[in-house]
Structure 1
Amino acid sequence: MPRRALIIVEGHRANGLPYVQAAQRLRLHPIALASDPTQYDYLAAESIDAIRVDTDNLDALIDVCSRLQATYEICGIIGFGGLYESRHVTVAKLCRHFALPGANPVSIERCSDKFTQLQLLAQAGVPVPAYRLAANAREIESAAEELGWPVIVKPSEGSGSSGVRLCRDDDELAEHTTYLLGGKYPWRSSPKIIVEEFARGPFYDVVTMGNSVVAIGAADFKPPPYFVPCQSMFPAQLTEDEHKHIADVSLGCLRALNLGWGPANIELRWTERGPVVMEVNARLPGWTTPRLVQLAYGVDIINEHINLVIGNTCDLRIRHSHVAIARFLVPDRDGILAEIDVDSRAAAVPGVAEVSFYVESGTPITRKGDHLDIIGHVIAASPECTRAEATLQRATDLISWSIEELPPSGEQSGNENLAASVQVVPDHT
């Protein structure tokens, strides 16, 4: 009898390893297909089979999977989108080709284009910011003038806040327009840029599976103009009415976008007119969210996502009610990560679930204003919110790092350069 395999298209910096481990717990043999498997360290560390293939090429993926069928029983195909959400469209088409459980490719494709998504949500009566579509500098400037300052300017496709900026005046708008249209932003096709009003208010993050709201969290960000998260908490501290309102709006998003299968992630802000939807992603959220949901609710959404993909029943029952908080470690300047000082007592603080750095000393730090600016995190959980917050603060007080200034051109870097000590503290914006 052939081994039961789970095909994993590409990998993920934070959640790739948990997916591999969950697959193994379900007695599946994970096989990674990636354009460059070496960028995912956990594949070699865990001795995971990996095949190099162009993961943007559907025909190439079909060819590889067809050859694998001679050796394995492919039970399911799952994937990570990377910078471009359109890769989820490719995975959905791959599932459909092999008659495996998967999302509707048409729905995923419409959702991956944020302009089309906004149109569909607005047509269905889902509250969204006022928005305009632009393709050049003149149209961007005209849209900003029409909507009024400040405005959000972002690509119509992408993830992790890549290319997203709050523009508060003409100068900031011109600067970001030059970045997006001047050859620095990696467009895969003709530029499509969304200019939208800045919806002010607390940020909430909704995790769904199928037609069920699994969890609602809250997040804080570093100061504008970019949107780099500095803290995430599940569950969000909401009244019963607020929770119901957000859940109802989220389910309305799923109906409007025909996302009744699989995971989704809905980002919104609570404004003067109630919840306003920023965007919907037809996938599980990345980074620490799956771990926070597991700690807060006792629901392993990665495990249940795989169950869904291989045709099993999802179990989304809440096992307990705790508060789980992640604090993200974000440098406040560019330079060289010269020193990481993680006191061993930080991870040993009762209630601390994880202390993790993604990079090592000596790593160049060049901030771009997106999720890749994050270099580590600390997670704490407790039955009580105040205790979870206190635990998190106690642990982060035991962690520091230093950013060493880059030497002037032509000089050697060394310990004589001024090092700026950066203590990890939260930013509440």
Structure 2
Amino acid sequence: MARRALILVEGHRSIGLRYVQAAQRLGLYPITLSADPTQYDYLAAEDIEAIHVDTDNLDALIRECSRLRATYNIAGITGFTDLDESLYATVGKLCRHFDLPGPNPASVERCCDKFAQRQLLAKAGVPVPAYRLAANATEVESSAAEIGLPVIVKPAAGSGSSGVRLCRDVDEVAEHTAYLFGGKHTWVSSPRILVEEFAQGPFYIVHIMGYEVIGIEAGAFDPPPHFVFREGTFPAPLTDDEYKRIVDVSLSCLRAVGLGWGPTCIEFRWTKRGPVVIEVNPRISGGPQPVQLAYGVDLIAEHIKLVMGEEWDLRGRHSHISAWRCLLPDRDGILDWIDGDSRATAVSGVAEVKIYVKPKTPIVRKGDYRDSMGYVIAASPSLAQTQAILQRAVDLISWSITPFPTE
């Protein structure tokens, strides 16, 4: 009898290993297809089979999966990558080719185009920030003037807050536009800029599977102008009315963009007019662990069950409060040393301490998810206790960065 395999297209620095481990626990043999398998450290560390394939080429992926089917029983196909969500649309097309459960590629593509997403949400009456699409610097400047400063200037496609900036005056608008169009930013599609109203207020992330809202997370960023995640708490401290309003808008989002299969995470700001949708992401959150620690629901394992066409179970096993903090550098330079992670791990209530960087690594802040040097996550029965545990653990971690020499 052929061995059952789970095909993972590309990988992810924070959740890739969790998918591999969950697949193994479910009795599956994980195989990663990647344009560059060496970029995912966990593949070699865990001796996971990885095959070099051009993952931008659907035909190449179909050929490789067809070849693998001669040896394995392919139970399911899924995938992810840190920077380009459009890969998930390719995964959907691959699933359809092999008649396997998967996301609707057209719905995923609509979400990946942030302008198209905004149009669909606005047409459905979903509250979104004022927005304009711009193809050149003149259009960016006129859009900012129409909306009114401050504005968010960002690529119309991409993820991880890459290229996203708060611009408070016309000089900052011109500076960031020049950066995006100047060849330094890596575009995942044709260069187009979205100019948006800066929706101000507390930030929330809604975790959804299918049409079921699992819970709402509160998040916070490092200081502007960029949007680098600093910390989060799950579940968010919300009133029943606030929770219901966010859930109602979330379900409206799913209907508007045609989602409803598999994981989705939706980002909100709670503004003076209530919940305003910042983004609908047609994928699992890059940090599903807070949900598991708080409720005992392993979103990754349940997603894999869905991918296999099996029944899932999103019922909570317990009710705790989880919280996490990113380890963010305060300067660019060479990382001399970073330590204390073993002491932090030993703190009762700490679930995980993860360090991404090694000593002697150059630290160059980019203003997006790549700035994080690691994270600490904790959980306990109460918010105050969890926050105290987290703070104690973070205080045990220290590092030294020597600034680059100046000219």
- Give distance in 2, aligned partners of 1:148 and 1:98: 49
Counterpart for residue 150 of structure 2? 150
Given the alignment, which residue of 387, 396, 403 partners 1:398?
396
C-alpha deviation, 1:343, in angstroms? 5.8
Counterpart for residue 348 of structure 2? 350
Q: Kindly provide the CA deviation profile for residues 332-362 of structure 1, in whole angstroms up to 9, marking residues without a partner as x.
A: 1100111112164321111111111101111
Counterpart for residue 330 of structure 1? 328
Q: Does 1:311 align with 2:309?
A: yes
Counterpart for residue 280 of structure 1? 280
Flag structure 1 segments of 5+ consecutive residues without an equivalent: 410-429
- Give distance in 2, aligned partners of 1:271 and 1:5: 46
Q: Give the CA RMSD over aligned residues.
A: 1.0
Q: Does 1:372 align with 2:361?
A: no
Q: 1:189 to 1:377 in 2, by over 3 A?
A: closer
Equivalent pair of 2:158/2:188 in contact (CA under 8 Å): no
- Give distance in 2, aligned partners of 1:99 and 1:194: 36
Q: What TM-score results when the alignment is normalised by the length of structure 1? A: 0.94
C-alpha deviation, 1:187, in angstroms? 2.1
Q: Kindly provide the CA deviation profile for residues 263-286 of structure 1, in whole angstroms up to 9, marking residues without a partner as x.
A: 001000000000000000100010
Q: Does 1:205 align with 2:205?
A: yes
Q: Does 1:69 align with 2:45?
A: no
Q: Which amino acid in structure 2 is aligned with residue 112 of structure 1?
A: C
Q: Kindly provide the CA deviation profile for residues 12-32 of structure 1, in whole angstroms up to 9, marking residues without a partner as x.
A: 001000000000000000000
C-alpha deviation, 1:258, in angstroms? 1.1
- Give distance in 1, aligned partners of 2:113 and 2:227: 20
SS at match of 1:142: helix
- Give distance in 1, aligned partners of 2:253 and 2:312: 21
C-alpha deviation, 1:255, in angstroms? 0.9
Counterpart for residue 230 of structure 1? 230
SS at match of 2:288: helix
C-alpha deviation, 1:81, in angstroms? 3.3
Provide the aligned length of Structure 1 versus Structure 2. Answer: 407
Counterpart for residue 220 of structure 2? 220
C-alpha deviation, 1:174, in angstroms? 1.0
- Give distance in 2, aligned partners of 1:111 and 1:337: 37
C-alpha deviation, 1:199, in angstroms? 0.3
Q: Which amino acid in structure 2 is aligned with residue 401 of structure 1?
A: W
Counterpart for residue 94 of structure 2? 94
- Give distance in 2, aligned partners of 1:408 and 1:81: 35
Counterpart for residue 380 of structure 2? 382
- Give distance in 2, aligned partners of 1:18 and 1:344: 21
% identity of equivalent residues: 68
Counterpart for residue 108 of structure 2? 108
Q: Which amino acid in structure 1 is aligned with residue 161 of structure 2?
A: S
SS at match of 1:33: strand
- Give distance in 2, aligned partners of 1:302 and 1:17: 11
Q: Which amino acid in structure 2 is aligned with residue 160 of structure 1?
A: G
C-alpha deviation, 1:188, in angstroms? 4.2
Equivalent pair of 2:165/2:225 in contact (CA under 8 Å): yes
- Give distance in 2, aligned partners of 1:219 and 1:401: 24
C-alpha deviation, 1:408, in angstroms? 4.6
- Give distance in 2, aligned partners of 1:275 and 1:229: 19
Counterpart for residue 172 of structure 1? 172
Equivalent pair of 2:221/2:227 in contact (CA under 8 Å): yes
SS at match of 1:159: coil
SS at match of 1:216: strand
Q: Which amino acid in structure 2 is aligned with residue 176 of structure 1?
A: H
Q: Does 1:294 align with 2:292?
A: yes
Q: Kindly provide the CA deviation profile for residues 121-156 of structure 1, in whole angstroms up to 9, marking residues without a partner as x.
A: 011111000000000000000000000000001111
